[in-house]
Copies of this chain bind each other. A is one copy, B any other.
Amino acid sequence: MPYGERKTQIIETAAQLFSERGYHATSVRDIAAALDLQGGSLYAHIQSKEEVLWLIVERAAEQFFEAVRPLAESDLPPDEKLRRAVHAHIRVITDDLAAATVYFHEWRFLEEEHRNTFLEQRREYEHLWREMVREGMEKGVLRNDEDPKYMAILILSAMNWLYHWYRPDGPLSPDEIAERFWRMLLEGLQAPVFEVPTA
């Protein structure tokens, strides 16, 4: 955690409020009130509401990178790499649903410079996934009759939608969801047409 305790509290409280009400419907005063502070005293820690939005988005982006990049750059076989990356990506979402909601939706309200940095980081992150997919194709693990771009988008879409429906008190843990989703994606939804002969 690169920030002091107070700044971290501000970021987390703001993420909660932004995710519930939306960025524009949340004032600095609301964030302060949720922390039992005076509105003005928040400005000792932050410059603007937009800075807080940026800190939330930047932190979430870092968490996705920290979770997935070591796997992408590892020597694991491509299917195991992707399997673990699916678990890791899903855990970043489920560990902090509020931050994920802000990352996936409210980023559009960033000011231009921050928004451009966000979009650049997101492209870089998607590139990690595309390269994992491409490696899987090259090594004969994934089908190579599809475009790695759309295969990566399909995998990311299946995972990212979690922020809309995942609830911590639901019946499946994040790892169980990751396991099932990855199995369905990898093996496909259709019934097996014939049996593998047993050795």
Contacts and interface: CB of A to CB of B under 8 A. Distances in A.
Interface of A: 20-25, 79, 104-105, 108-109, 136-137, 140-144, 146-147, 150-151, 153-162, 164-165, 172, 177, 180-181, 183-194, 196
A188 B137 CA distance: 13
A194 to B, nearest CB: 8
A129 to B, nearest CB: 12
A196 B194 CA distance: 9
B157 A189 contact: no
B161 A191 contact: no
11 contacts: A22-B24, A142-B189, A142-B191, A143-B187, A146-B180, A150-B177, A153-B161, A155-B189, A157-B162, A161-B161, A185-B185
Nearest to A23: B22
Contacts of A109: 21-22, 25
A143 B189 contact: yes
Contacts of A140: 191
Contacts of A190: 79, 141-143, 186-188
Contacts of A154: 158, 181, 184-185, 189
Contacts of A165: 153, 157
Contacts of A184: 146, 150-151, 154, 185, 188
A157 B160 CA distance: 8
Among A25, A141, A185, A190, find the residue whose CB has the most chain B CB atoms closer than 10 A. A190
A191 B141 contact: yes
A156 B161 contact: yes
